[in-house]
Structure 1
Amino acid sequence: MKQYILGIDAGGTFVKAGLFDAGGRELAAAKERSPHLDGRGGRREQDPDALWNAVCSSTRELLRASGTHPCDVLAVSVTGYGSGLWFVDENAGAVGNGILSTDGRVELDPASAPDHETAVQIERLVSQRMWSGQTAALLRWFDEHEPTMRSRVHRVLACKDYIRARLCGDMSTDYTDAGLTGLCDIERNSWSEDALGLLGIAQWRDTLPAIGPGAETVGGITAAAAELTGLSEGTPVIRGVVDVAACALASRVLDERHMSVVAGTFGIDQTLHPQPRTSTVPLLQCRYVTGEAYLASEGGITSASNLEWCCRHLFRAEATNDGGDIYQMCNDAVLRAYGRERLSGMMFFPYVFGGPSGAPAGVLGAVAEDEFDDTALAVYEGITFAHKADIDKLLSGDDAARPSVVRMSGGASHSPVWPQMFADVLGLRVDVAERGEIGVRGAAITAAVALGIFPDFDSAAAAFTPSMRSYEPDPHKVTVMNGRYSRHHALTAALAAVWTSADDR
């Protein structure tokens, strides 16, 4: 009898599934689109049926394409985006749409945010800053704008927890997802009654799920889920972890020497610490999946989602004329442009979904001689600079980590040129896993530890991610990119000042 682990990674656009043998080798993968819904007032949501159908479809396709018998699957583990929220009833049915962490309704309704002094108190309690897509902020918004919602809700879940509830009925959460809600005392791994009180949402306390370790079996595939997914009824289901922790784990980020850079829909830059950071409060912070460290994160929606926007709205004509894959065309263009001795002066500001201190998105410095190659380079470079700005914050303060290597994941890591640009901009070696979907692999690693196949996360991560390709910083390019970053950073600050003062008039 063969034995396999099935990992599922649910994002805002795609659901990915991967099949691994017990030794960590990836055997097959499948992907299904699960698009988000953009609505009025900054709303970014997901249709719960569309997400669940994508999970079921990708799982069935994975089993079919690999020729795997359902009885040979040892366990299933799910990861997914953090923050946002999913409301469910007592039967794990969704109450309304799921809300993505990129949702902006709170940002467009500043009156619903707590005052500065209260926000500072809350940040100390939960060890992270408040922001608009956070579960805490969204619950406060619902109490103000849809006060009847609470009476319909049995549990407030994260994305991966909603999927797991549909798979096996369990409605708990883990340390990592709980930590990213903005409602958790991450040292005690418990909900902060004081934070709930200060936010004025103590009445939601009974809807918050129990918190447990990610590497733990919490149920078995139900008969209904088995029929829809093709899995065997009773197959063990693991609690799982949030996607940024899964990516860090599968990138073998296991101590303070390693920094995780996730360049995907969100740009997330992460370091490990023996205690929660206090010298500077990070954007996000949670107990790490190993249970023995804390994961501090900076970032925002200034990463590869901006490239996706440019491909849809700016580069569409280029793709139509060529008839090829626009993302491959961008990689080829940047590879050509980045290899030149003299780079274009054009700069892209990757803030189409919001920028630091209100900085607007845009392009500056273009001249008539600039071509598609120069434009694509400006987009890649601007996104890399946005990561560096967040990393500079992450590495500031007395209790900051001092990493010597970057472990990169997310869509940008698949590019043949982008990791090299990150190495040159950050002045650090960048490692990228050789193959497969990194979030799916992180989910599978969690399951392998939960099942006792590996004694710890270190050995499991080494087996599941045995090789990485490395990009060393080029000394000449490091000097060039330092100068360009300084200009980009100064222009971002200047644009924010002008843009926000214009809004105030």
Structure 2
Amino acid sequence: MAPDLLIGIDAGTSVIKAVAFDLGGRQIAVASTPNRVLHGPDGAAEQDLDGTWDDTAATLRALAGQVPQLAARTLALAATAQGDGTWLIDADGRPVGPAMLWLDGRSAPQVQALRASPAGAAIAARTGTALNPSMQSGHLLWLQAHQPQRLARATTAMHCKDWLHFKATGQRATCRAEGVFTFGDHRSGSYDPEVLELLGLAAWRHLLPPMQDGIGPASPLSAAAAAQTGLRAGTPVVLPVMDVPATLLGGGGVAFDARGLRRVGCSILGSTGMHGWVAEGLEAIRPSAEAGYTMMMPLPDVRARLMSHMAATLNIDWLIGLLGEAAMLAGAASPSKAALLARLNDLVLETAPAQALYHPYIADNGERGPFVDPCARAQLSGFSTRLGLPGLARAVFEGITLAARDCYAALGPMPEEIRLSGGAARSPALRQLLASVTGVPVRVSHREECGAAAAAMCAAIALGVHHDVREALPTWVDACLDERLTRPDAQQTALYDQLFPVYRALAERSRAPWQDLARLRSAQRTAATSPHPNHDQG
């Protein structure tokens, strides 16, 4: 039997998915396994390395239960995964402690100190990326200060996808996208010793693995990995780009016309929000020391310029959670999440705009775009007793899309069109508000698993099914784009044009109070954990 399938894996923070595609990019089947985040004190967010690999292998076995003769039919395998974070292994390939995830905020003091120094701007200029606590550089600084023995035992510092690739093949490598924006020079596309010096991490240069460009070379699946996954030993395994550039690629963020690359935006609205565009050459890349990423794409001389805010649909999850709690307090059965989401979408679209202003900074580790502030917190402003549930829901949805506009505004002129993927692509309210708040038409990708599809597409290119990314786009990406556009409501866009500067000004004026609240929270935690004196003594 000639192999006729490609497997793309997307190992997210909360779910690991394995997806089978035919060689033309059509999705055949998907299997998923929940992933576990271990939260600890001071903003710790970790995952077990062995557990993540075991869950990935189990997900592949579950996929085989859906696809007859999957092992014999698989031409190649590729795994993308959550970006940033730190996954340390020793000389024998064993984990050196748990992985520090991109959600881990323990390095905030080290990162803030670097950002406040001249080194912060110099690092951003070279890497094309502003420092933030999600990055491996900050994690290594924290480990250097607090757990130097872990670093001393480590021989390689990986990211999640690199760990999965290592477990599958025994090869230690990372993608150029992730290696360069953390420790490299985005102009040369290679590691930069000066960046390591500026970071204060030159002593750990030996931890950085070789970089690949995301479309090969392929390495054979090891016998041990084959036994765990149920696939054939020797199956080619490709290391693609990390999840954000993969989802941008799979969701339509790379578009060509007769003149070359088009300026289309790509918004990925899942638990977090990521917004940006791709450009050819260096002239369109203007790094900022405040926020934003520059990532190498698997095309010659093409980079993505991206801005990320920490919480997008997390805000809607919070709102749904409140509604469920309210139903319980009233003694009523809580509706399903799907039913609540559908009703919220209707409420938002039926409700008058701008009844209140909501800043969606609800993540426990603050914000990273278009500003970096681990103390940032969500806030609802400008409301009165007349604000009901519909108005509150509308404000939350508006806040998510105002944050998206804030990210695009920090990157430069608005794109001609925004390609939308992630969970929000299924929300009519978020689609319409994104168009009206930004003033830009929105086109949805109907591709359910954009990251996994891009990983499989990278494998297809590595194996010669397609010559390059541009040749693969029509069947793998463009065929999944909706022909219809969601267009801005001109009247509402005019209103949001007036509201947006107020949104930005309120956030800026809140920076000092956020710091004060953070100090109060810290003092409360300290008091709660301090031993109480025994007043009976003496």
TM class by smaller structure:
over 0.9
Which is higher, the Rg of structure 1 or of structure 2? 2
For 1:153 and 1:325, the matched residues in 2 are separated by 46
Distance 1:199 1:46 in 2: 25
Asked whether 1:263 is paired with 2:269, we answer yes
What are the within-5 Å matches in structure 2 for residues 149-164 of structure 1?
149-164=150-165
- Report the 3-state secondary structure (helix = DSSP H, G, I; strand = E; otherwise coil) of the residue aligned with 2:88: strand
Q: Does 1:417 align with 2:429?
A: yes
Shift of 1:229: 1.3
Q: What does residue 536 of structure 2 align with?
A: none
In the alignment, which of 355, 373, 386 is matched to residue 403 of structure 2?
Answer: 386
Matched, 1:430 2:447: no
Once the two structures are superposed, what CA deviation does each residue of 1:20-56 show, in whole Å capped at 9, x if it has no partner?
Answer: 0011111111111102111101111112233122211
Match of 1:204 in 2: 204
Deviation of the 1:336 alpha carbon? 2.5
Contact (CA 8 Å) 1:136, 1:183: kept in 2 or not? yes
Deviations 1:317-352 (A, max 9, x none): 257545433254134223223233x33613322112
* Residues 111 and 138 in structure 2, CA contact (< 8 A), matched pair in contact too: no
Partner SS, residue 358 of structure 2? strand
Matched, 1:88 2:89: yes
Question: Which residue number corresponds to residue 296 of structure 2?
Answer: 287
- Report the Cα distance in structure 2 between the residues aligned to 1:113 and 1:166, rounded to whole angstroms: 34
Residue 395 (str. 1) matches residue 412 (str. 2): yes
Alpha-carbon deviation of 1:294?
Answer: 1.1
Match of residue 375 from structure 1: 392
Q: Answer yes or no: is 1:349 the counterpart of 2:359.
A: yes
C-alpha contact 1:217 1:238 (8 A) present in aligned 2: yes
**Counterparts of 1:364 and 1:111, CA distance in 2:** 28
Deviation at 1:502, TM superposition (A): 6.7
Which string of whole-angstrom CA distances, capped at 9 and with x for unpartnered residues, describes residues 53-91 of structure 1?
Answer: 221122111111122431110000111122111101234
Distance 1:382 1:204, change over 3 A: same
CA distance in structure 2 between the partners assigned to 1:71 and 1:412 by the alignment: 36
Q: Give the aligned residue type for 2:171.
A: D
Distance 1:316 1:19, change over 3 A: same
Counterpart of 1:445?
A: 457
User: Which ranges of structure 1 fall in alignment gaps of 5 or more residues?
Assistant: 397-401
Q: Distance in 1 between matches of 2:127 and 2:105?
A: 21
Deviation sequence 1:190-219 (CA, Å, 0-9, x none): 211111112221111111000121111331
Report how far residue 144 of structure 1 moved.
1.2
Aligned to 1:296: 305
- Are the structure 2 counterparts of residues 20 and 411 from structure 1 closer, same or farther at C-alpha, using a change threshold of 3 Å? same
Distance 2:70 2:436 in 1: 46
Q: Matches of residues 490-501 of structure 1 in structure 2 within 5 Å?
A: 490-500=505-515
Assess if the C-alpha contact under 8 Å between 1:427 and 1:478 holds in 2.
yes
Partner of 1:226 in structure 2? 226
Match of 1:325 in 2: 336
Conserved? CA contact 1:347–1:382, under 8 Å: yes
- 2:488 pairs with 1:473: yes
The C-alpha deviation readout for 1:382-428, integer Å capped at 9, x for no partner, is: 111111111110116xxxxx521111122222223211211111111
Q: Does 1:454 align with 2:466?
A: yes
**Structure 2 portions without partners, runs of 5+:** 255-260, 521-538
SS for the counterpart of 1:84 is coil
Quick check: 7-16 or 227-236, which moved more?
227-236
CA–CA distance in structure 1, aligned partners of residues 327 and 443 of structure 2: 30
Within a 5 Å distance, the mapping from 1:64-213 to structure 2 comes to 64-108=65-109, 113=114, 115-180=116-181, 182-213=182-213
Greater CA drift, 238-247 or 403-412: 403-412
Displacement of 1:9 after TM fit?
Answer: 0.4
Pairwise CA distance, 1:233: 1.1
Q: Measure the CA separation in 1 of the matches of 2:175 and 2:518.
A: 41
Q: Which residue does the alignment assign to 2:500?
A: 485
Q: Report how far residue 503 of structure 1 moved.
A: 6.3
- In 2, the alpha carbon distance for the partners of 1:338 and 1:412 equals 15
String of CA shifts for 1:433-475, please: whole Å, max 9, x gaps.
Answer: 1132111111111111111111221231221230322312121
Tell me which amino acid in the other structure corresponds to 1:205. Answer: R
Q: 2:447, 2:112 → 1: CA distance?
A: 46
CA distance in 2, matches of 1:413, 1:265: 12
Contact preservation (8 Å) 1:3, 1:22: yes
Corresponding position of 1:43: 44
Contact 1:5 / 1:21 at 8 angstroms: preserved in 2?
A: yes
Distance (Å, rounded) in 2 between the aligned partners of 1:53 and 1:373: 44
Tell me: CA distance 1:319–1:206, structure 2 relative to 1, closer, same or farther (3 Å). Answer: farther
Cα displacement (A) at 1:369 = 4.3
Asked if structure 1 preserves the Cα contact closer than 8 Å seen for 2:115 and 2:131, the reply is: no
Task: Say whether the 8 Å CA contact 2:324–2:334 is kept in structure 1.
Answer: no
Is residue 361 from structure 1 mapped to residue 378 from structure 2 by the alignment?
Answer: yes
Deviation at 1:493, TM superposition (A): 2.3
Question: Does the 8 Å contact 1:112/1:144 carry over to 2?
Answer: no
Q: Displacement, 1:250? A: 0.8
Query: Over residues 147-172 of structure 1, what are the superposed CA-to-partner deviations in whole Å (9 max), with x where a residue is unaligned?
Result: 11222112111111111111111111
Question: For 1:360-401, what per-residue CA distance to the aligned partner results, in whole angstroms no more than 9, with x for missing partners?
Answer: 3122344444443333222221111111111110116xxxxx
CA contact (8 A) 1:87 1:157 kept: yes
Q: Distance in 2 between matches of 1:257 and 1:170?
A: 36
C-alpha distance in 2 between matches for 1:211 and 1:425 = 39
SS of aligned partner of 2:25? coil
With 302-311 and 62-71 compared, the bigger mean Cα shift is at 302-311
Q: Deviations over 1:104-126 (max 9, x none)?
A: 10115568646511222222222
Identity of aligned residues (%): 26
> Partner residue of 1:272?
278
Partner of 1:399: none
The number of residues matched between the two structures is 497
Normalising by structure 2, we get a TM-score of: 0.87
Query: Bigger CA drift: 1-10 or 257-266?
Result: 257-266
